């Protein structure tokens, strides 16, 4: 995946190769990419502090992400020749498990990535729960959560997913930059046929 480092961050990338899927499946790499997407470009040292890892470890994992095109260096942000800065190459990563399921290597990598993503979602939600006492009551009151079930046809289920994604897109597209009175909020959603 070639990238022009002088251009703005691309909106999204679709991933189909097992090596790229597996690169993202590592929990620390997933966390580093998420930080670069939400917080913006950061130096290796800053990222190491944020994830409580050694700079050498962070550098190694950023290199792995770079090989698959998920991050790019941002040398224009460095204060000196020793400092290495990185930015996310895309705002979002997409992959379609249905398209990957017939190839054993792709399916295995897709499952590994989805397991890592679900674990990271749980960790984020537990961290948010731990931090509730520091939140303004109004922010806590505006938070949502829940689950539901419905008997849907395949067509209804597909339409539901499209409408849900459109709703999330509506509320996130032009709201990626900080503004006065805002804070980073997280929307997690999932729909699946019960086994």
The tens digit of pLDDT for each residue in 143-168 reads 999 999 999 999 999 999 999 999 99
Write out pLDDT tens, residues 42-96: 999 999 999 999 999 999 999 999 999 999 999 899 888 788 999 999 999 999 9
Band of the pLDDT at 9, cuts 50, 70, 90? low
pLDDT at residue 6 is higher than 60: no
For the chain, the average pLDDT equals: 91
Q: So what's the pLDDT on residue 142?
A: 94
37 half-sphere exposure, CB direction, 13 A CA radius: 16
Q: Taking Cα atoms as reference points, which of 6, 66, 74 lies closest to residue 43?
A: 74
Q: Helix crossing, 27-39 with 55-67: angle to 10°?
A: 80
The whole model's pTM is what? 0.85
Return the pLDDT at 70. 97
Cβ-count burial 142-152 (b if 16+ within 10 Å, e if not): eeeeeeeeeee
Predicted local distance difference test score (pLDDT) of residue 2: 35
172 confidence band (pLDDT: 50, 70, 90): confident
| Residue 4, pLDDT above cutoff 50 | no
Angle at 64 between CA 37 and CA 52, to 5 degrees: 60
The predicted structure's pLDDT at residue 3:
36
Whether residue 35 is predicted with pLDDT greater than 50 in this model: the reply is yes
């Amino acid at each position: 995946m070639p990238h022009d480092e002088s251009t703005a961050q691309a909106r999204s990338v679709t991933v189909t190769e097992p090596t790229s899927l597996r690169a993202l499946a590592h929990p620390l790499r997933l966390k580093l990419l998420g930080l670069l997407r939400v917080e913006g470009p950061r130096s290796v040292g800053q990222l190491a502090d944020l994830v409580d890892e050694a700079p050498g470890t962070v550098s190694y994992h950023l290199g792995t992400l770079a090989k698959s095109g998920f991050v790019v260096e941002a040398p224009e942000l460095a204060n000196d020749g020793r400092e290495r800065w990185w930015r996310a190459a895309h705002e979002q990563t997409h992959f379609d498990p249905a398209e990957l399921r017939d190839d054993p290597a792709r399916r295995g990598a897709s499952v590994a990535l989805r397991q890592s993503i679900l674990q990271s979602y749980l960790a984020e939600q537990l961290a948010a729960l731990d931090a509730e006492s520091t939140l303004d009551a109004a922010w806590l009151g505006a938070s949502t959560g829940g689950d539901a079930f419905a008997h849907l046809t395949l067509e209804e289920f597909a339409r539901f997913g499209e409408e849900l994604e459109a709703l999330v897109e509506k509320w996130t597209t032009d709201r990626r930059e900080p503004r006065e009175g805002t804070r980073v909020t997280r929307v997690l959603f999932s729909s699946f046929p019960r086994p």
